[in-house]
Amino acid sequence: MMKKKLAVVAAASMLLSSLSFGTAFAFSDVDGSEADAVNMLQKKGIVNGVDAEHFAPRGAISYAASVQLIVKAFGYNLDAMRFDHPPAASEFFSHIRDDAWYANAFVIAHYNGLDIPKDVNPNASVTREQFADLLDSAFEQKAKLPLINLHVDLKDEANITPALQGSVLRLLHYKIADTDKNGNFNPKRELTRGETAIWIYRALNYIANIKPPVQAENVAVNVEKVNNDVNKVTLSRAQKPTAGYGIIVNSITFKDATHAVIQYTLKDPAQGEMSAEVLTVPTAVAYLPAQVEVEIEQAAN
pLDDT for res 22: 37
Q: For residues 90 and 24, which has the higher predicted lDDT (pLDDT)?
A: 90
Mean of the per-residue pLDDT values of the chain: 88
Looking at the chain, the whole-number percentage of residues with pLDDT higher than 90 is 74
Q: What whole-number distance in Å separates Cα of residue 298 and Cα of residue 78?
A: 39
pLDDT at 23 (0 to 100): 39
**Interval 209-234 mean pLDDT:** 86
For the residues 270-275, what does the mean pLDDT come to?
Answer: 80
Is 209 or 7 the better-scoring residue by pLDDT?
A: 209
Q: For 185-194, 196-205, 221-230, 269-278, which range has the lowest pLDDT when averaged over its residues?
A: 269-278
* pLDDT above 60 for 7: no
Give me the mean pLDDT over the 190-212 stretch.
93
Q: Which amino acid is at 165?
A: Q
Of all helices (H) and strands (E), which one includes residue 265? strand 259-267
- Between CA 199 and CA 46 the distance in angstroms is 13
Residues 200 and 39 sit within 8 Å (Cβ to Cβ): no
d(CA 107, CA 221): 53
pLDDT above 60: residue 64? yes
Question: Is 215 a residue whose pLDDT tops 80?
Answer: no
Q: Where are the domains of the chain?
A: 2-208, 220-298
**What is each CA distance from 292 to 224, 254, 255, 265, 289, in whole angstroms?**
12, 9, 10, 22, 6
Element (H, E) at 71: helix 63-73
Residue with the bigger pLDDT between 3 and 201: it is 201
The band of 17, judged by pLDDT with boundaries at 50, 70 and 90, is very low
List, for residues 128-145, the tens digit of each pLDDT value: 999 999 999 999 999 888
